[in-house]
């Protein structure tokens, strides 16, 4: 089967493009790029070198994948952008490569939806199933956990994180970490309770007893009056794996307010 490449597209002979991929009008695929099975690049998509796009991912008009990081420390080193399988990247999104100082790679896992005009900066780690609504601006070194959702036109300050299964409302500024399985909204950004909608979408992972344990943990964290650092140490050592993953070396020491 021949690769479907529009006559107006340019694909470098040094790019690796699967025979089932579809490259639309005016696309550019640079030397060193890797395009997987059944990937669709609509039109005017630019895939830089150092970018890998996983199978069945669909990239819409005008998206730019793997441009150099917008970081003054970047000095032209070879770095990468890794995009997983079954992702959807809508119109005019920009996803930058990593920096040497940040580990060298920006990562977008499987089944991620990035809606139009959103930006994912250098060295971000976007986990499986994340939904990023229109116009979100994600700074460098940000981590977004599995199946989290970001509302439209939300900005996340560099080096912060949004926990797995969390929800951040639209048009907000995230300058503190949003813990897993919670909702956050307001200005300044605040804790808004458990994100029960997401937990109910995954009933096998979140039976009633686990949801209740999460609820108790957040009551202790936000309502008990105890020092936050003391409660965090208990959560890190407890049985809940989401807390262990969240409060690791990436955690910057701040949390959304109660």
Summarize pLDDT for 172-181 with one digit per residue, the tens: 999 999 999 9
Residues 6 or more apart whose Cβ sits within 8 Å of residue 147: 127, 128, 129, 130, 164, 165, 198, 201, 202
pTM, two decimals, is 0.97
Confidence bin at 166 (pLDDT 50/70/90):
very high
Task: Mark whether 6 is an active-site residue.
Answer: no
Arithmetic mean of pLDDT, 164-171: 98
Q: What is the DSSP letter of 70?
A: S
Confidence bin at 3 (pLDDT 50/70/90):
low
Tell me if 196 sits within 8 A of 211, measured CB to CB.
Answer: yes
Strand partners, 126: 108, 144
User: Which residue in the list 66, 135, 139, 140 is annotated as catalytic?
Assistant: 140
Nearest to 51 by CA among 14, 81, 13: 81
Q: What is the pLDDT of residue 1?
A: 46
pLDDT exceeds cutoff 90 at 219: yes
Burial class (CB in 10 A: 0-12, 13-18, 19+), 68: middle
Arithmetic mean of pLDDT, 168-172: 97
Residues 6 or more apart whose Cβ sits within 8 Å of residue 241: none
CA distance to 176, 214, 216, 232, 234, per residue, from 220 (Å): 19, 10, 6, 10, 10
User: Which residue in the list 123, 125, 151, 172 is annotated as catalytic?
Assistant: 123
Task: Mark whether 122 is an active-site residue.
Answer: yes
User: Which residue in the list 30, 46, 84, 122 is annotated as catalytic?
Assistant: 122
Task: Mark whether 204 is an active-site residue.
Answer: no
Cα Rg of the chain, angstroms:
19
pLDDT exceeds cutoff 70 at 2: no
């Amino acid at each position: 089967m021949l690769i479907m490449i529009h006559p107006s597209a340019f694909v470098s002979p040094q790019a690796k493009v699967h025979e089932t991929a579809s490259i639309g009008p005016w696309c550019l695929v640079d030397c060193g790029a890797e395009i997987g099975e059944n990937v669709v690049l609509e039109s005017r998509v630019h895939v830089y070198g150092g970018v890998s796009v996983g199978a069945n991912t669909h990239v819409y008009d005008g998206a730019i994948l793997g441009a150099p990081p917008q970081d003054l420390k970047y000095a032209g080193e070879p770095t990468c952008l890794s995009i997983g399988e079954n992702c959807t990247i809508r119109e005019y999104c920009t996803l930058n490569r990593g920096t040497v100082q940040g580990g060298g790679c920006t990562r977008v896992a499987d089944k991620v939806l990035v809606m139009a005009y959103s930006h994912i900066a250098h060295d971000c780690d976007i986990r499986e199933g994340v939904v990023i609504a229109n116009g979100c601006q994600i700074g460098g070194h940000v981590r977004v956990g599995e199946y989290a959702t970001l509302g439209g036109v939300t900005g996340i300050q560099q080096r912060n994180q949004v926990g797995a299964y969390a929800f951040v409302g639209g048009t907000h500024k995230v300058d503190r970490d949003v813990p897993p399985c919670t909702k956050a909204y307001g200005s300044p950004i605040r804790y808004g309770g458990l994100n029960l909608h997401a937990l109910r979408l995954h009933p096998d992972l979140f039976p009633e007893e686990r949801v209740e344990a999460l609820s108790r943990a957040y009551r202790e964290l936000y309502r008990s009056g105890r020092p936050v650092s003391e409660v965090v140490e208990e959560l890190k050592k407890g049985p809940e794996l989401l807390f262990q993953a969240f409060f690791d070396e990436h955690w910057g020491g701040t949390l959304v307010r109660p």
